[in-house]
Chain A
Amino acid sequence: SQQGEEDPQALSIQEGENATMNCSYKTSINNLQWYRQNSGRGLVHLILIRSNEREKHSGRLRVTLDTSKKSSSLLITASRAADTASYFCATDDSSASKIIFGSGTRLSIRP
């Protein structure tokens, strides 16, 4: 079973609005990463947050991590058409030997 599960599975918003995606995971982690995938293309790393961090920013991206709830959120502010993509969270597995990707959130930005 997946370590990380994104919610919602799909999200459609108007350009300029903020998009929030959530990721829940099952076991304790060392770090959590978010990746973006444009349709049929390879994944692109967005941001990494360590288990001792609560919030991290990168440009229009804001990631939060709540280890007590085993959840993370990715906020994209002032969305643009180019943000249309699938977004995946990735966590290390319990043995910390590899990272496991969630099922992803498909984000569509309407013009």
Chain B
Amino acid sequence: DSGVTQTPKHLITATGQRVTLRCSPRSGDLSVYWYQQSLDQGLQFLIQYYNGEERAKGNILERFSAQQFPDLHSELNLSSLELGDSALYFCASSVAGTIQETQYFGPGTRLLVL
């Protein structure tokens, strides 16, 4: 158990809908990362937050947004969902958000868009 929690574990929704994925980092970790893992695209970095502020951005679509709250939990919002958004979404956390650090991954949220 990494100490990173993600909810929900599974999510089934329809095209055009909006969903929110939630992540709680390990105790003491200030940085949160979001990743998307699909069969054809592999593990793609979406976005990173550090202590409530956006720190780095990856291949995140405009339909997706995220935020990190004062209690350091983070939410990833996916809107106008398309079939291709079906994937595993992982959250990871680290202490200070530097690239030399170990990232601790949560168990993921499996999203299926029908």
Contact = CB atoms under 8 A, between A and B. Distances in A.
A48 B102 contact: yes
Chain B residues touching A, range: 20 to 34
Contacts of B88: 40
B8 interface: no
The DSSP consensus for interface residues of chain B is strand
A102 B45 CA distance: 11
A27 interface: no
Contacts, number: 55
B2 A44 contact: yes
23 contacts: A40-B88, A40-B110, A41-B107, A42-B2, A42-B4, A42-B90, A42-B105, A43-B43, A43-B90, A48-B102, A88-B43, A97-B55, A97-B99, A98-B45, A98-B48, A99-B103, A100-B45, A101-B35, A101-B43, A101-B45, A102-B42, A103-B42, A104-B43
Contacts of A43: 43, 90, 92, 103, 105
Contacts of A101: 35, 42-43, 45
A98 B103 contact: no
**A-B pairs with lowest CB-CB distance, top 6:** A42-B105, A101-B43, A45-B102, A98-B56, A92-B99, A43-B105
Given A30-B99, A48-B100, A98-B99, A104 B56 contact: no
A100 B33 CA distance: 12
A97 B56 contact: yes
A30 B99 CA distance: 9
Interface in B65-114: 88, 90, 92, 99-100, 102-108, 110
Interface string A44-56: 1100101000000
Nearest to A91: B99
A15 to B, nearest CB: 26
A105 B43 CA distance: 13
A31 B2 contact: no
A45 B100 contact: no
Interface centre among A44, A98, A100 (most CB of B within 10 A): A98
B100 A31 contact: yes
A30 B105 contact: no
